[in-house]
Amino acid sequence: MMLQLSVGDVLPVVQKRKKLRKKTSDVLSGWLFLLPSLLLLGVFVFYPMIRTVFLSFYLTDFAGNPVVFAGLNNFKELLVSDDYLQSMLHTVYFVAGTVSATIFISLALALLANEKLKGIGFFRTIFASTMGISVSVASVFWMFLFNPSIGIMNRLMERLHLPAVDWLTDPHWALFSISLSTVWMNIGLSFLILLGGLQSIDRSLYESAQLQGIPYMKQIRRITLPLLSPTLFFVVIVSVIQAFQTFGQIDMLTKGGPSNETNLLVYSIYQDAFVNHQFGTASAEAVTLALIISALTVLQFKVGEKKVHYQ
């Protein structure tokens, strides 16, 4: 007995197969477009990350090859290492100082640049110009400023009738000097982001406040800061991560000295890996740093986001 199928029975099956083929084709096309990015991320991000975690549990030879499984010993040694704990403490000081100073100065400049003043576009360009300068060029610039003989900083101290300072070789001033140069380098990007956030605030709110006779500082406190809080929140997170990853200016200005006063965490990782060839220890430091940054980021989201006012 022959089974006869009508067009109404066959058509849904054909349409379903066409949809399946189209969906498969779309998925394959998507993966083909993603393939170059995935290859780059795999080679330069995912593989180094996995390799670092792997090496953190091993003692390595001079070439970085794992030799002996050490378990958590590399991490335990960090907790009892005076040099590492000193580096951690100095990094905390550095991050707290540079992030707070950068955001405060950037916000002040953004508030000034947001005013409708004649020629303010020129000053906006000047304020944001540091983001177009590489770390190496900026470090050379600050190296001349900090020069004890011909540097402008000591000439300024002389004008103020204060003693000259060895900015980069004095243990009491070296970390401050690195922090000062870092704040200058980071102002441009923070200023630009905060200025964008300020310009998104409705001007009519300020006009209404002025008509009511509300003082300028109270307008900042009651209007600007609440409405700018999402932008500020973003800038704080990015600035903290960026400060923890500081390396270039330390390498060029102080090499971690004097007396390890500027040997911050990332530079300590570099020294252990590529100077002392202790790749297991360096990997443990890198994993620890990644965990610290991740924990601080999560904490900022948990605590800071409650104070953010989204429009």
pLDDT value of residue 123: 87
Give a yes or no: residue 190 inside a domain.
yes
Going by C-alpha positions, the residue among 295, 286, 192 that lies closest to residue 237 is: 295
How far is 279 from 271, CA to CA, in rounded Å?
10
On average, the pLDDT of the chain sits at 89
Q: Is residue 162 one of the residues assigned to a domain?
A: yes
> Are residue 188 and residue 224 in the same domain, yes or no?
yes
Q: Are residues 120 and 41 in the same domain?
A: no
Cis before 258? omega within 30 = yes
Residues 37 and 177 in one domain: no
| 26 and 98 co-located in one domain | no
Question: In three state form, how does the secondary structure of the chain look?
Answer: CCCCCCHHHHHHHHHHHHHHHHHHHHHHHHHHHHHHHHHHHHHHHHHHHHHHHHHCCEEECCCCCEEEECCCHHHHHHHHCHHHHHHHHHHHHHHHHHHHHHHHHHHHHHHHHCCCCCCHHHHHHHHHHHHHCCHHHHHHHHHHHCCCCCCHHHHHHHHCCCCCCCCCCCCCCHHHHHHHHHHHHHHHHHHHHHHHHHHCCCHHHHHHHHHCCCCHHHHHHHHHHHHHHHHHHHHHHHHHHHHHCCCHHHHHHCCCCCCCCCCCHHHHHHHHHHHCCCHHHHHHHHHHHHHHHHHHHHHHHHHHHHHCCCC
Confidence band for 15, pLDDT divided at 50, 70 and 90: confident
127 and 257 together in one domain: yes
* Residues 36 and 124 occupy one common structural domain: no
Dump pLDDT digits (tens) for 107-143: 999 999 988 888 888 888 898 888 888 999 999 999 9
Kindly report, residue by residue over 212-254, the tens digit of the pLDDT.
888 988 988 888 888 898 899 999 999 999 999 999 999 999 9
Are 22 and 119 in a shared domain? no
Task: Please report whether residue 1 resides in a domain.
Answer: no
Q: What is the extent of the structural domain holding 14?
A: 7-55
* Count of structural domains, the chain: 2
Domain CATH for 185: 1.10.3720.10
255 is a domain residue:
yes
**Helix 225-244 and helix 174-199, axial crossing angle in degrees, nearest 10:** 140
pLDDT digits (tens, 9 = 90+) for 49-104: 999 999 999 999 888 889 999 989 999 999 999 999 999 999 999 999 999 999 99
Kindly report which listed range (5-19, 58-72, 226-240, 261-275) carries the lowest average pLDDT score: 5-19
Given a cut of 60, whether residue 197 has pLDDT beyond it is yes
pLDDT > 70? residue 7: no
Residue 139 domain-assigned (yes or no):
yes
Q: According to the model, what pLDDT value does residue 87 have?
A: 94
Taking the model in full, what pTM does it have? 0.87
**Residue 26 shares a structural domain with residue 105:** no
**Residue 199 placed within a domain:** yes
Mean pLDDT for 2-9 is 52
Same domain, 40 and 91: no
Distance CA 248, CA 242 (A): 12
**Does 187 share its domain with 39?**
no
Phi-psi region of 71 (alpha: psi -120 to 50; beta: other; left: phi over 0): left
* AA letter at 162: L
The answer to the question of residue 65 being in a domain is no
Tokens standing for 196?
Answer: 């964008």
Q: Are strands 58-60 and 66-69 parallel, antiparallel or unpaired?
A: antiparallel
In a domain, 252, yes or no: yes
Both 51 and 82 in a single domain? no
Identify whether residues 43 and 128 lie together within a single domain.
no
